Amino acid sequence: MSASPRGAAIPFAVCCLGVALFSVMDAAMKGLGLAIGLYNALFWRAVAGTLLGLALMLATRQRWPARAVLRIHLLRGVVVAFMAALFFWAILRLPLAEAIALSFIAPLIALYLAAWLLQETVGGRAIGASLLGLVGVAVILSGRLQGRYEPDALLGALAVMGSAVLFAWNLIIQRRQAQLASPIEVAFFQHLVMLGVFALAAPFWAGVPPVGAVPLVLLAAALAFTSLAALAWAYARAEAQRLIPVEYSAFVWAAIVGWLAFGEPLTLTTVAGALLIIAACLIAARSKRAQIAHVEAGTA
């Protein structure tokens, strides 16, 4: 959907808010994962998010989607479930800012998935941008190879990369989903499908969270639902090329929240690598008229 610069002001502001909320949600999930374990953090957030979404679906009298739309919801929810598991496993081992920086490679991966799944053409500028993005990833990973971090931190970095591949697939699916469903419907079904996926392991791993962890569960669910709905609303009302630069503010928010909540330092290699990846994504976006959806890995 096209929008004038003035008409895009409100979607731009909503997008800024959505990105900031996602970054705070990432920090909440990191704290929750450290407190009750990754699986229970994901499971109980999905439970809370599903209940919140159901209440909003009923309160706003949302129509039940058609079967074709349900299939899209199901596919995206399954992809996001595994994407979230990898990403949140990674941030238990990496600083938030570093994980977010690595996740920015997702839109570059999406270019090649679009070529494969949608038969789109990848031009020379996009290929060059991809190479620049890989240089940025290498710069960030170089810090991991200097032996200054925990032994499993490199595995965390690789998990972010795996999550980025799934997130790129998620971007392809989201292109169509945003045109067929309301923000509340998108957020509700994403949480519902994720709950279904995580519930498969509930008999083995689920445990009732302690009372002290319940507020953090509710906070993480509310932040995830609100930020997801906000971004869906914004991208339905303004061109992606106007909003994509906002997504990279997630790096700043992650650095601030990571430092305040966990005392995480910001390294020079992380900043340099992030700048290279962001530059690569913006070059690729210009070559493709920015037809990809938003790039913040906290879409989970």
The 10s digit of each residue's pLDDT in 47-98 is 999 999 999 999 999 999 999 999 999 999 999 999 999 999 999 999 999 9
**Dihedral of alpha carbons 272, 277, 278, 280, sign:** positive
pTM of the model: 0.84
Which pLDDT score, from 0 to 100, does residue 169 have? Answer: 83
Closest CA to 70 of 200, 229, 180, 232: 180
Which pLDDT score, from 0 to 100, does residue 132 have? Answer: 83
Give the model's confidence band at 219: pLDDT under 50 very low, under 70 low, under 90 confident, else very high: very high
285-295 average pLDDT score = 51
**Dihedral of alpha carbons 154, 155, 157, 158, sign:** positive
For 287-292, which contacts have Cβ atoms below 8 Å and span 24 or more sequence positions?
287/123, 287/125, 287/126, 287/129, 288/111, 288/126, 289/241, 290/239, 290/240, 290/241, 290/244, 291/175, 291/240, 292/107, 292/110, 292/111, 292/114, 292/171, 292/175, 292/240, 292/244
For the chain, the residue count is: 300
106-127 average pLDDT score = 69
Percentage of the chain modeled with pLDDT above 90: 45
* Rg value, the chain, Cα: 18
- Please give the backbone phi and psi of residue 203, each rounded to the nearest 5 degrees, phi first: -60, -20
**Are residues 236 and 52 in contact, defined by beta-carbon separation less than 8 angstroms?**
no
d(CA 140, CA 157): 9
